[in-house]
Structure 1
Amino acid sequence: MEEVKLDLSGKNIVIIGGFGGIGFETCKLLIQKGVANLMILHKTWNESASKELRSIDAAGVCQYMEFDLTCGLEKTRQVFAQIMEKFGSIDVLINGAGICDEQDFSIIIAVNFTGTINTTLVAYDLMDKSRGGKGGVVVNISSVAALTPFPVLPVYSATKGGILNFTRALAHLEPKTGITLYSICPGITDTKHWEQVRHFQGRELCFKEKMRGRPFSTQTPMACAANVVKAIEAHKNGVTWMCDLGQLKLVEIKNFWTPPHHRQEHEQQDEQQQNQENEQS
């Protein structure tokens, strides 16, 4: 089967966390790809980042709305309704915001897990072909901590692992909804994200100090963003991407349990295959 690539030109894109390190570099690349509209949802305004984006945004496609991922489901619906009024449709949602300071684990869960679920489900309802939408793409930025949990960041690792499985589950509905979903797991990247890690289990702990003396390689936000865009253009439903040390690759996640109805299908297939082999022998 011929692979279908996603042409980003002319697309309406919403990116959450677009003023962050990886998100900001992703925004620059999306503008260069010729998107029709790019809505940045971020908790706070960033004048310097906005100025840099405007300098390359000759077509004026980039817009900003204040958005706090902890605002709840109803407020999220209201924000996305405003975007629909502006754009008419949303082609791609990129959930790129996240925090990793474990001083208050409830905030990590609210932002990384609950907030991302809320934005995904709201966009999902708007895109769903079975509900009158035209389909679309949801890109959830997870972390390599979802693949191999970080001992110093247990709650962060749990939220990112949760989002990965949440995304994989929804991706199974793509034939009905027309919505492509997948996760992208960046490795450790040189952003403020990691510099702000200060607390773990009630005591002061700097992540960089913890890792000092150990092999500790990172990547630039620009290198990571380039691979994020490559993954989006590859347009593969239900997969898990890892972008680490400037490299992009697919990660195979094995299923260790088969649902009962799938077991019956497999048993029927095995029986048919056995019957065919018996007829040939």
Structure 2
Amino acid sequence: MVYDIKGKNALVTGGASGIGLWFVKELLKSGANKVFVLYLHTENAGDISKQLNIEYGRECTCFQKVDVSNATQLENAFKTCINWCEQLDIVINNAGVMNDGKWEMEIAININAVVRGTKLAFQYMGKDKGGKGGIVVNLSSILGLQPLAGCPIYVATKHALIGMDRSWGTPFHYNRTGIKVLTMCPGVTDTPLISEAHGLQGDDILGRECQRELDAMPTQSPAHVAQSMMAMITKGETGSVWICEGGQPIYEVEIPDRLTLKRKN
């Protein structure tokens, strides 16, 4: 069944810059009613919100400064969002960092905050909690499906999200909550997360290898990733994992079970 974004309300973490801001723009372009945006470091977030509200002729965005790794701040943001838009339909856990040099922070943002954001989405949207169901999208990466020598901890965080989302996306949870859980795995995208990655691995050798490996991969624009996100939201089935790489059309990837993968001696 095709999901219609028109008239829906969304929450996007890390949505004031990079891919996240393009997600916000594409949601509005696709007819979303309101988008609640969480950000941390963007200095002109207020101006961006005003510009979008002017462009769409209504109070369609609300930007709130939040550290997603802070449990209290994140939960309060969800409460504020519900008070503002009354009903939440789509949650995109986009915020992430690629910084093995500060791996504890990396895990806190890339895993812990996404787990918490997903659970809060279930709490506020789940049919079993009095909600109307909805969609949760978590941002993994193509590096959640392959190794990369230069940033092993980042790779681990993205592998973790795929396992979690496929589990949340099982019929057991969907039948109970009415929430589809989708995973998007973008390839190398022209954003600061990629361009600054080589200097954030805590080791010059790792940094150089990280840069070499990333430079060998095809690149794409954040606008293409955002357009692909809308396509995935409208047609994705719960528990599905999607790849968007090199500016090519997004596609669903099938992950074989362990028996299929068993190596024959």
Secondary structure of 2:148 counterpart: coil
The separation in 1 between residues aligned to 2:130 and 2:144, in whole angstroms, is 34
Counterpart of 1:186?
186
Counterpart of 2:263?
none
The separation in 2 between residues aligned to 1:227 and 1:207, in whole angstroms, is 29
In 1, are the aligned partners of 2:13 and 2:38 still within 8 Å (CA)? yes
The separation in 2 between residues aligned to 1:206 and 1:108, in whole angstroms, is 19
In 1, are the aligned partners of 2:218 and 2:245 still within 8 Å (CA)? no
Secondary structure of 1:104 counterpart: helix
Deviations 1:174-232 (A, max 9, x none): 011111001000000010111221133533625674348x6332001111111011101
The separation in 1 between residues aligned to 2:52 and 2:104, in whole angstroms, is 33
Q: Which blocks of at least 5 consecutive residues in structure 1 are unaligned?
A: 259-281
The separation in 2 between residues aligned to 1:108 and 1:170, in whole angstroms, is 22
- TM-score of the superposed pair, with normalisation by structure 2: 0.89
- Give 1:45 shift: 3.7
In 1, are the aligned partners of 2:149 and 2:210 still within 8 Å (CA)? no
In 1, are the aligned partners of 2:140 and 2:161 still within 8 Å (CA)? yes
Counterpart residue type for residue 210 of structure 1: R
The separation in 1 between residues aligned to 2:57 and 2:234, in whole angstroms, is 23
The separation in 2 between residues aligned to 1:221 and 1:80, in whole angstroms, is 26
The separation in 2 between residues aligned to 1:102 and 1:147, in whole angstroms, is 18
- Give 1:28 shift: 1.2
Given the alignment of the two structures, is residue 228 of structure 1 paired with residue 229 of structure 2, yes or no? yes
Counterpart of 1:59?
58
Secondary structure of 1:183 counterpart: strand
Counterpart of 1:19?
16
- Partner of residue 127 from structure 1, selected from 109, 125, 128: 125
Counterpart residue type for residue 56 of structure 1: E
- Partner of residue 154 from structure 2, selected from 153, 156, 170: 156
- Give 1:34 shift: 1.8
Considering only aligned residues, what root-mean-square deviation do their CA atoms show, in Å? Answer: 2.0
Given the alignment of the two structures, is residue 29 of structure 1 paired with residue 26 of structure 2, yes or no? yes
- After superposing the two structures, state which structure 1 stretch, 20-29 or 168-177, moved more: 20-29
- Give 1:234 shift: 1.1
Larger Rg, first or second structure (1 or 2): 1
- Partner of residue 77 from structure 1, selected from 66, 75, 78: 75
Q: Which blocks of at least 5 consecutive residues in structure 2 are unaligned?
A: 261-265
Counterpart of 1:93?
91
Given the alignment of the two structures, is residue 196 of structure 1 paired with residue 196 of structure 2, yes or no? yes
